[in-house]
Structure 1
Amino acid sequence: MKYMLIMRADERAVEAYKDIPFDEVIARMGAYNEQLMKAGVMVGGEGLSEADEGFVVDFDADPPLVTDGPYGEVKELFNGFWILEVSSKEEAAEWAKRCPLGPGSKLEVRRVTGEDDFPADNEWIQKESEWREQLGTN
């Protein structure tokens, strides 16, 4: 089973990280990533840029409206993610609890859907399976 760990931070976490040398933050995350790699559970992961570099596409409008970040009142920011291949929800939770985050930070953990979650006879599901094979992401 694949699970996505989505890193979220509120203002407390952002302020707390200002007091930690950047090299230390990178070292902590690097050590965590190394544990995931050595255990063979890490499929991928990335950090995200600051919110003011992003944008939002709002589908309440027609055509959809693109608005530059930051996004008005921000209570929580998504800062990065990992994708893990593990045997169970409980194993995903164990790995999530090991992440070197502090107060004001959360990991949202969600199962990544797979082909078995959809009807196998659907034309688009079959095409997606072929696309995954072409991309080498099966």
Structure 2
Amino acid sequence: MALRFSPVNLLLLLPMKMIITILLLDLCCVCHADPDPVDDICIADLSTGQRFAGGYPCKPDSQITADDLCNIGKGKAQTFAALNSHLPGGVSVPKNLFGSTPSIPDALLSKVFQVDEATVRSSKAKLADI
């Protein structure tokens, strides 16, 4: 039995690899429905006093409040996403909120963040280029 080799164009393999990857991702997600999206978020429970190697333990769903989901610190809030068509691999909150085209109206952002429109304009000026 003789071996036969056929020339293959690399440009033909890349789309095929992408299609196979998408199909595998689609098959993995077919049976998954998320009844509670908060289950996908880990809110650090700082009140326990325990500290694990990976950080703090997660709060139980029954103890999560609206204040836990707001960034009240001086640091930047970050969100990580695996599949995002706008910025694959990650979501830049300032770029999506303050640097989008067309822009999100200041009145809407002031209602969402519960601040005045001057604060929204100031935040846009500081964070649009991040």
Please identify which structure carries the higher strand content: 1
Structure with more helix by fraction = 2
Normalised to the residue count of structure 2, the TM-score between the two structures is: 0.23
| Bigger Rg, which one | 2
Task: State the structure with bigger RCO (CA 8 A, min sep 6), 1 or 2.
Answer: 1
